[in-house]
Structure 1
Amino acid sequence: MRKIIESTFVTVDGVISSPQEWCSPYWDAEHSDYAGKLLVSSDALLLGRVTYQSFAEVWPTRSGDAYTDRINSMPKYVASTTLKEAGAWNGTLLQGDVATAVAELKRQPGEAILKFGTGELDRTLISNRLIDEFHFWTFPCVAGGGDRLLDGLDLTHLDLLETTRFKSGIVVNTYGLK
């Protein structure tokens, strides 16, 4: 069975919005290597509408390195109640009940499915126990305001599976659902 792995950037104060404003000073080779390993261990992406649309505006305009070429060529499964289609940028709109569709994706042969972005889709995936690993990249900064990580979810207990520290101060805590 395939795993769903969520990879999310977060500040020390729990903010996930506007990472372009706070994450770039910490981006280095160590960070890129970890991100590349996550991407290479996966053969598809799972995205909510907001993340899919923002990524689809930027990533197809890039090329020339292994990470970019891989992310652009991978199939993307998109959860949305408002999009009519997601055919651009190798997208496939999940049909019907999202939890059922994602559970079916997990049963298909293949590598892990990497999920970027944290939002409404997480409520469904967590309540249906469909996320196998969370990789929360905690950046050593305080945003002071913005959308918070997993805000509005019911109490959910996690198991710490691994901690990875970077020289830049980023700490990636990998969790599974209890």
Structure 2
Amino acid sequence: MRKLIESTFMTIDGVISSPEKWSAPYWDDAYAGYASELLYGADALLLGRETYEGFAEVWPLMESSQGEYAVRMNALPKYVASRTLKETTWNATLIEGDVAEAVTRLKQEPGQNILKYGTGELDRTLLEHKLVDEFHFWIMPVVAGEGQRLFEGVDLTHLDFVRSTPLKSGVQVQVYKPKA
């Protein structure tokens, strides 16, 4: 069975909104290496509408600057959970009907991991149905002060620590899995 892995950027104070404003100074070779391991360990992406729309706008333009990473990002099949989106582009399939059932089916298919970027409304459904197998929280050494917080509105959820990977830039990637 495939694992669903969530990869999320956040500040030390738990803010996840507008990572384009605070995460870039910490992108170095170690960051690129860890991100590549996650991306190349997956053969599909799961995205909510907002993350999908943002990615679909920029990633097709990045192959010249980001090389093989962008080629891989653009080539992977994407599954998009949305109640409002009516059609997709960028090698994506809109999940219709019950998202939890669709993700359960995807996880049962043969293949590599399914990688989910972004944190938002979709997470409530995934957590409620115990569908996320690992969380990779990229904690950036910056305080945002305000913005959307990680898992706002999610019920109490206990996690087990798996490992921590410190990067030279000061980023700590904390890996957790749902408590059994």
Q: Tell me, which stretches of 5 or more residues in structure 1 are unaligned? A: none
In the aligned structure 1, how far is the partner of 2:74 from the partner of 2:3?
Answer: 21
2:79 aligned with 1:73: no
**Per-residue deviation, residues 40-90 of structure 1 (Å, max 9, x unmatched):** 00001000000000100000112141110000000000000001122x100
**Per-residue deviation, residues 87-127 of structure 1 (Å, max 9, x unmatched):** x1000001110000000000001100000000000000001
1:109 corresponding residue in structure 2: 110
Deviating beyond 6 angstroms after TM superposition, the runs of 4 or more aligned structure 1 residues are none
2:60 corresponding residue in structure 1: 60
2:10 corresponding residue in structure 1: 10
RMSD in angstroms over aligned alpha carbons? 0.6
In the aligned structure 2, how far is the partner of 1:18 from the partner of 1:97?
Answer: 29
**Per-residue deviation, residues 1-28 of structure 1 (Å, max 9, x unmatched):** 0000000000000000111111111110
1:21 corresponding residue in structure 2: 21
Aligned length: 177
Equivalent pairs: percent with the same residue? 60
TM-score, normalized by length of structure 1?
0.98
Counterpart of 2:104, as a letter, is A
Q: How is 1:21-60 mapped onto 2 (pairs within 5 angstroms)?
A: 21-60=21-60
TM-score, normalized by length of structure 2?
0.97
In the aligned structure 2, how far is the partner of 1:19 from the partner of 1:174?
Answer: 19
**Per-residue deviation, residues 109-148 of structure 1 (Å, max 9, x unmatched):** 1100000000000000001000000000000010010011
SS state of the match for residue 131, structure 1? coil
In the aligned structure 1, how far is the partner of 2:62 from the partner of 2:48?
Answer: 21
In the aligned structure 2, how far is the partner of 1:16 from the partner of 1:42?
Answer: 23
Counterpart of 1:49, as a letter, is R
2:176 corresponding residue in structure 1: 175
In the aligned structure 1, how far is the partner of 2:36 from the partner of 2:51?
Answer: 19
In the aligned structure 2, how far is the partner of 1:85 from the partner of 1:157?
Answer: 36
